[in-house]
């Protein structure tokens, strides 16, 4: 069977190495490619890939919203406004970022989350966290987007980053991608989760949190969790999470 991640840019993605490690761990002779797909062309490219015998795809930036209209999105993906996984046989599309993030926070103490960002990923996380009963406060650089996301998921929002009132802070902005720090009151009693990851060094968010003595994790945890759920959706067998973790350096 053939699988792929579609995005633009996509060459940097760790998904091919992670899924190849999963297939190898289970002795499956399957492949997983990175395919550059420009915005606006997803529907056509999905048909092409289906004809070429691809069984399933992951969807990444900037195509997750476009993917909603290019498949039969399930109810959760519709609530998230984004699809990141499609079965090309059934054309069903789902969102594994939200449920994957719930796997990441399982076992972390605290039920109050400060969510930084109001883009596509923040929306999927906000929907999943609220449906799982977490308290969520949203901050975004553009406050209108924070207010609108908060209203749609039943969360709170704030114009300035709060110093108190949360156990887990999640960076769902692109600040780490740009190497920029966020002005937080980092506390050793809290957990800090960056959605972004770099294999070379800690992200600015993770480095700032660790410097304050706090527990901090980067986006590789979510990468593995959402990838494992995609694998299980396509193949219907448990994903070898340990092999997938090792493949991304965890
Ligand atoms: P979007 O483009 O949809 O949203 C970007 C968000 O970042 C917006 O809220 C934007 O605010 C904010 N932002 C951009 N630059 C800055 C800055 N310098 N300071 C503060 N806020 C900023 O992106 P996504 O939601 O798709 O992705 C967000 C991050 O999550 C990315 O780094 C991405 O790589 C990562 N990610 C990781 C995944 C994983 O598996 N590990 C899965 C999905 C995403 P504004 O509205 O004001 O412009």
- 52 included as an active-site residue: no
C-beta separation of 63 from 37 below 8 A: yes
Question: Which of 85, 100, 101, 117 to mutate for ligand 1's pocket (most ligand atoms within 8 Å of CB)?
Answer: 117
Select the CATH number that applies to the domain covering 2-95+222-247 from these four: 3.40.1380.10, 3.40.50.10860, 3.40.50.150, 3.40.50.300. Answer: 3.40.50.10860
The pLDDT tens digits for 8-34 are 999 999 999 999 999 999 999 999 999
Rg, C-alpha atoms of the chain: 18
Fold of 99-218: Rossmann fold (3.40.50)
How far is it, in rounded angstroms, from Cα 147 to Cα 167? Answer: 21
The pLDDT tens digits for 175-206 are 988 889 999 999 999 999 999 998 889 999 99
The fraction of the chain above a pLDDT of 70, given in percent, is: 100
pLDDT of residue 199: 86
User: Which of 215, 208, 205 is closest to 177 using CA atoms?
Assistant: 205
Q: What is the pTM of this model?
A: 0.96
The string over 67-80, giving b where at least 16 C-beta atoms fall within 10 Å of a residue's C-beta and e elsewhere, is bbebbebeebbebb
pLDDT of residue 61: 92
Question: Which of 5, 174, 194 to mutate for ligand 1's pocket (most ligand atoms within 8 Å of CB)?
Answer: 174
The pLDDT tens digits for 82-93 are 999 999 999 999
- Widest pairwise Cα distance in the chain: 53
123 Cα nearest atom in ligand 1: 25
Average pLDDT of 63-73? 97
Q: In this structure, what token pair is assigned to residue 3?
A: 């699988």
The CATH 3.40.50.720 domain(s) of the chain lie at 99-218
The pLDDT tens digits for 121-165 are 999 999 999 999 999 999 999 999 999 999 999 999 999 999 999
What is the CA(165)–ligand 1 centre distance, in A? 23
């Amino acid at each position: 069977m053939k699988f792929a991640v579609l995005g633009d840019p996509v060459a940097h993605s760790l998904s091919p190495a992670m899924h190849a490690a999963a297939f190898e761990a289970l002795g499956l002779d399957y492949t997983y490619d990175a395919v550059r797909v420009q915005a606006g062309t997803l529907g056509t490219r999905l048909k092409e890939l289906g004809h070429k015998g691809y069984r399933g795809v992951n969807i990444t930036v900037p195509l997750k919203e476009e993917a909603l209209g290019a498949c039969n999105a399930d109810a959760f993906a519709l609530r998230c406004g984004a699809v990141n996984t499609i079965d090309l046989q059934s054309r069903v599309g789902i969102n594994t970022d939200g449920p994957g993030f719930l796997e990441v926070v399982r076992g972390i103490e605290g039920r109050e989350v400060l969510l930084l960002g109001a883009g596509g990923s923040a929306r999927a996380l906000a929907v999943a966290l609220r449906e799982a009963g977490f308290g969520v406060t949203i901050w975004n650089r553009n406050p209108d987007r924070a207010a609108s996301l908060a209203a749609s998921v039943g969360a709170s929002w704030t114009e300035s980053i709060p110093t108190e009132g949360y156990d887990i802070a999640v960076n769902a902005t692109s600040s780490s991608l740009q190497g920029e720090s966020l002005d937080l009151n980092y506390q050793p009693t809290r957990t800090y989760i960056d959605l972004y990851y770099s294999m070379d060094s800690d992200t600015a968010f993770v480095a700032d949190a660790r410097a304050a003595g706090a527990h901090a994790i980067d986006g590789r945890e979510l990468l593995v969790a959402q990838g494992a759920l995609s694998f299980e959706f396509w193949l219907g067998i448990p994903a070898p999470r340990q092999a997938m973790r090792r493949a991304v350096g965890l």
